[in-house]
Amino acid sequence: MVDDVCIAQSVTNLPIDASNHPYTWLMQPRRETRKIWVGDDRTGRVAIGGGAPIAVQTMCAGYTHDIDACVAEIRRYHKAGAELVRVAVPERKDTEALREIIKQVEVPIVADVHFHYQRALESIAAGVHKIRLNPGNINDREQVNSVIDACKERGIPIRVGVNEGSIIERRDKQRRMEELGKYFAGHRAGHLLALMITKLEEYLEIFEARDFHQVVLSAKSMDAALVIDIYTEIANRFDYPLHLGVTHAGTKDSGAIRSVVALGSLIANGIGDTVRISYASDHIDEVKDALEMLYCLGKRERKGVELIACPTCGRIQVDLFTLVKEVEKTLMPELQLPIKVAVMGCIVNGPGEAEGADVAVFAGDRRGIIYVQGERVANVPEEEILARLLAECKTFEARVRSGEAKLGEKKVDIVPPDPIGELGSGHAKIAAGHVEQVTVGRT
φ and ψ of 362, to 5 deg: -130, 150
Shortest separation between residue 432's beta carbon and ligand SF4, angstroms? 20
C-beta neighbour count of 111 within 10 angstroms: 26
Candidate residues 101, 310, 341, 385; the one interacting with ligand SF4 per rule CB under 6 A: 310
| Residue 414 near ligand SF4 by CB under 6 A | no
To 5 degrees, how large is the angle CA 42–CA 48–CA 53?
A: 95
Candidate residues 57, 95, 265, 312; the one interacting with ligand SF4 per rule CB under 6 A: 312
C-beta neighbour count of 195 within 10 angstroms: 24
- Inter-residue contact 57 to 82 (CB < 8 Å): yes
Nearer to ligand SF4, 186 or 421 (CB): 421
Separation between Cα atoms, residue 224 and residue 279, nearest integer Å? 13
Nearer to ligand SF4, 49 or 345 (CB): 345
Nearer to ligand SF4, 311 or 421 (CB): 311
Buried b (16+ CB within 10 A) or exposed e, 69-78: ebbebbbbbb
Shortest separation between residue 312's beta carbon and ligand SF4, angstroms? 5
Candidate residues 191, 199, 258, 315; the one interacting with ligand SF4 per rule CB under 6 A: 315
Nearer to ligand SF4, 148 or 324 (CB): 324
Separation between Cα atoms, residue 183 and residue 185, nearest integer Å? 6
| Binding window for ligand SF4 (CB under 6 A); candidates: 105-113, 127-135, 340-348, 388-396 | 340-348
| Residue 345 near ligand SF4 by CB under 6 A | yes
Nearer to ligand SF4, 135 or 351 (CB): 351
Candidate residues 311, 403, 421, 433; the one interacting with ligand SF4 per rule CB under 6 A: 311
- Inter-residue contact 126 to 92 (CB < 8 Å): no
Cβ neighbours of residue 282 closer than 8 Å, sequence gap 6 or more: none
Cα atoms found within 13 Å of the Cα of residue 357, Cβ hemisphere only: 27
Shortest separation between residue 317's beta carbon and ligand SF4, angstroms? 7
| Residue 348 near ligand SF4 by CB under 6 A | yes
Separation between Cα atoms, residue 324 and residue 318, nearest integer Å? 11
C-beta neighbour count of 141 within 10 angstroms: 11
| Residue 316 near ligand SF4 by CB under 6 A | yes
Nearer to ligand SF4, 47 or 348 (CB): 348
Nearer to ligand SF4, 112 or 353 (CB): 353
Q: Report helix, strand or coil for 300.
A: coil
| Residue 346 near ligand SF4 by CB under 6 A | yes
Shortest separation between residue 249's beta carbon and ligand SF4, angstroms? 30
Nearer to ligand SF4, 348 or 369 (CB): 348
Share in percent of the chain as helix, strand, coil (round to 5)? 45, 20, 40
Looking at 101-242, which runs of residues are DSSP E strands? 109-113, 130-133, 158-163, 215-220
Closest C-alpha among 358, 327, 337, 341 to residue 402: 337
Shortest separation between residue 430's beta carbon and ligand SF4, angstroms? 13
| Residue 349 near ligand SF4 by CB under 6 A | yes
Q: Which helix (H) or strand (E) holds 208?
A: helix 190-209
Q: Report helix, strand or coil for 124.
A: helix
| Binding window for ligand SF4 (CB under 6 A); candidates: 68-76, 207-215, 297-305, 338-346 | 338-346
| Residue 417 near ligand SF4 by CB under 6 A | no
| Residue 361 near ligand SF4 by CB under 6 A | no
Q: Which of residues 89-128 bind ligand SF4 (CB under 6 A)?
A: none
Nearer to ligand SF4, 277 or 438 (CB): 438
| Binding window for ligand SF4 (CB under 6 A); candidates: 147-155, 169-177, 305-313, 421-429 | 305-313
Closest C-alpha among 133, 164, 157 to residue 231: 164
| Residue 277 near ligand SF4 by CB under 6 A | no
Using CB under 6 A, count the residues that bind ligand SF4. Answer: 13
Nearer to ligand SF4, 313 or 412 (CB): 313
Shortest separation between residue 412's beta carbon and ligand SF4, angstroms? 20
φ and ψ of 342, to 5 deg: -110, 135
| Binding site residues, ligand SF4, CB under 6 A | 310-313, 315-316, 344-346, 348-350, 353
